[in-house]
Amino acid sequence: MFNPQHAKTLIDQAMSLGADFCELYIERQLNTTVRTLADKVDTIQSGIDFGIGLRLFYGQEILYGFTNLDDLASLQGILKQLTAERRRSKQDQTNPRQRQDFCQTEGVVHRAAEYPLEAGGWVDEKLALLRSAHTYAAQSGKAIMTTKGWVLQRQQQIEIFTFCTYKVVKFTASTY
């Protein structure tokens, strides 16, 4: 997903600027929504949400910036803004943290998506369910004239880079 060399470069720059800890959080979500009216498909929407967060620790002070651009220059611009902000509001750090305090990772976590959106097979199954709900409601009497149905599926991928490992320390993919 994200270039590990860019992560290492950015983290090294943050650490050279005095940060006690630096973390990149990359998230990508694929979303698909289907809406029905009666037994017909009314709308289908799908999209991708993407963003990168940069978090810096200076003792007890935490700075955070984010973007939806994944190029190194954009991320370096955010780092520059965060460190400039810190220089303007520098606080007395009576309780500085040790860098090794941040390096207690639990390893890499992988959880594969049960029904990945790329497969697309879930749509027919969910539409059949929504249509059967309409059929059942229509057969139950005149009280229900029509039905509206809605289903959402989301797949999320997360990568976290820290100065401790310079690599992904957690990855998850899930569907709902």
At residue 76, the pLDDT reads 95
User: Looking at residue 118, what is its pLDDT?
Assistant: 59
Q: pLDDT value at position 99?
A: 56
Contact between residue 110 and residue 44 where contact means Cβ atoms under 8 Å apart? no
Please provide the CATH number assigned to the domain covering 4-175. 3.30.2290.10
| Structure confidence at residue 39 (pLDDT) | 85
Residues of the chain whose pLDDT is less than 70? 88-121, 165-176
Instruction: List residues bridging with 151 in a β-sheet.
Output: 34
- 0.85 exceeded by pTM: no
Check: CB of residue 130 under 8 Å from CB of residue 122: no
Distances (CA, A) of 6 to 80, 88, 105, 108, 157: 15, 27, 21, 20, 18
The whole-number pLDDT of residue 94 equals 44
- The DSSP letter of residue 55 is E
CA 53 to chain centre: 9
pLDDT digit string (tens) for 102-139?
A: 565 555 555 555 556 555 557 778 888 888 888 888 88
The separation between the first and the last C-alpha atoms of the chain, rounded to the nearest angstrom, is 21
